[in-house]
Amino acid sequence: MQTKKLDEALCVREQLLPEQLAEAARQGFRSVINNRPDSEEPGQPSSAQVAAAAHAAGLEYRHIPVIPGQITDDAIEAFDKAMAEMPKPILGFCRTGTRAAMLWGLAKAPEIGADTAIETCAGAGCDISGVRARLEQRSR
């Protein structure tokens, strides 16, 4: 299972299928955050299906859906809260992993700054430079 490590608490990846949750647990993940809205594309498993498989694998689960290009302050706060509350390490996913990385960067920006957030995500293969202005705003 290909994951992209952002820090000790979070790895991100593309769509996680229900049948992959047991493997995620075997790899040591303790929680899952799903950032895909239900029915984003045909054939995508629903949040309920992913949640059931996560719980069956002994993983904690949260659904924080984000429409591409429309990350709200509420979603950033919910992601930050999930990162604080959920057992670690956490596996975050969306269609490609980029929205999950953006949420991480936006949540962490006040602590680590915009440049570090962008560089960390780039090092993991996720380009979040498109939200630089928002990262800088949150860094102040």
pLDDT per position as a tens digit, 95-106: 999 999 999 999
Q: What is the pLDDT of residue 140?
A: 84
Q: What is the pTM of this model?
A: 0.96
Q: Is the Cβ–Cβ distance between 80 and 98 less than 8 Å?
A: no
Q: How many CB atoms lie within 10 A of CB 84?
A: 9
pLDDT in tens, 43-68: 999 999 999 999 999 999 999 999 98
| 2-32 tens-digit pLDDT | 899 999 999 999 999 999 999 999 999 999 9
Q: Which CATH architecture has domain 4-139?
A: Alpha-Beta Complex (3.90)
Q: Domain-by-domain residue ranges, the chain?
A: 4-139
Q: Residue 41: how many CB atoms within 10 A of its CB?
A: 9
